Amino acid sequence: MKIFYFTATGNSLYVAKRIGGELCSIPQMLKEGKREFADEAIGFVFPCYGFAPPRMVMNFIKGSKFKANYFFAIMTYGNKASGLGDMEKIGNQAGIQFNYTNKVLMVDNYLPIFKIEDQLKKENTKKTEEKLEQIVRDIKSRKKQLIRKGFVSNVLSKGVSKFINKLHRDNGDKQFIIRDNCNGCKVCEKVCPISNIKVDRKPEYLHKCEGCFACIHHCPQTAIHLKIERSNTRFMNRNVKLKEIIDANNQSKV
């Protein structure tokens, strides 16, 4: 079983690790130029960004070929879940017929809206582990189940998604502020999944931002901020190490 994942703060990586199998980082697959894959089962684990899958995930699927007897998609989210329908549509374009889709409620780290400290207090109420256990059982038994929303919800999600995409994609990094306590450690450059950051003395953004906020959450000095953010607290899934995220997302030629 192969699982293709995209992660910024570790939530989706943790879910992929819990499911098991051969874990394949989407940024690394793109870096290595790998676009054809086959296995008995193939899955995708990704976060919900603005009521849709991350752009990199969708582009990877559309530009790749997959062969399997069983396909699944798991979306991590922190507030409202929407995007599995988009995943089905993208899959159809790539010749994928999903057998199973599901979602996992986790800590929401979207800084413009949520206070991380408040989200951490609510973490135990999200019943993440119970849901993960169910998903692992379902996939092992090759359960067939598709999570779908109604028409009104889909229309609302599309509207919100377009707004968020316009706000954060590409030029969204113009909303970032680098404070004087930046020491040029290059962690931000290494965790960026799309090679949008180059560090000489301080980070310079190349305006092809994915809007994942990995650079903000993982800065050891908390030197990177949004012009509008509700929290100075940062988040990384406690079951994932920074090195794992760097290994998954570092696309620089080394």
Half-sphere exposure of 254 (CA within 13 A, CB side): 9
In a domain, 254, yes or no: no
Same domain, yes or no, for 14 and 82?
yes
Higher pLDDT, 254 or 197: 197
* Domain shared by 83 and 48, yes or no: yes
Question: Do both 103 and 156 map to the same domain?
Answer: yes
Report the alpha-carbon distance of residue 193 to residue 183 in Å, rounded.
Answer: 21
- Could you report the per-residue pLDDT of 126-172, keeping only the tens digit for each? 899 999 999 999 999 999 999 986 544 555 555 555 655 555 555 78
- Percent helix, strand, coil in the chain (nearest 5)? 40, 20, 40
Residue 152 and residue 201 in one domain:
no
Q: Where are the beta strands (DSSP E) in the chain?
A: 2-5, 22-25, 36-38, 41-47, 65-67, 70-77, 100-105, 176-178, 197-199, 203-205, 224-226
Note whether 188 and 82 are same-domain residues. no
Q: In terms of domains, do 111 and 185 share one?
A: no
Largest CA distance in the chain: 53
- Answer whether residue 253 shows pLDDT above 90: no
Please give the backbone phi and psi of residue 39, each rounded to the nearest 5 degrees, phi first: -165, 170
- Range of the structural domain that residue 223 is part of: 170-249
Residues 76 and 178 placed together within one structural domain of the fold: no
Q: Hunting for tokens 């920074």 — which residue is that?
A: 242
User: How many Å apart are CA 18 and CA 21, to the nearest integer?
Assistant: 9
Chain center to CA of 128: 16
CATH of the domain at 196: 3.30.70.20
What pLDDT is attached to residue 170? 57
CATH number at residue 72: 3.40.50
Q: Among 108, 135, 164, where does a domain finish? A: 164
Exposed, middle or buried by CB within 10 Å (0-12, 13-18, 19+), for 31? middle
Tens of pLDDT, residue by residue over 215-235, are 999 999 999 999 999 999 999
241 and 143 in a common domain: no
Same domain for 145 and 191? no
Query: Mean pLDDT in the chain?
Result: 91
Q: Are residues 159 and 179 in the same domain?
A: no
Which of 105, 138, 164 delimits the end of a domain? 164
* Judgement on whether residues 85 and 29 belong to the same structural domain of the protein: yes
DSSP string, 20-83: -SEEEEHHHHHHHT--EEE-SEEEEEEE-SSSS--HHHHHHHHT-EEE-SEEEEEEEESS----
Q: What is the pLDDT of residues 73-129, one digit of tens each?
A: 999 998 777 789 999 999 999 999 999 999 999 999 999 999 999 999 988 888 999
For 147, the token pair is 């999570």
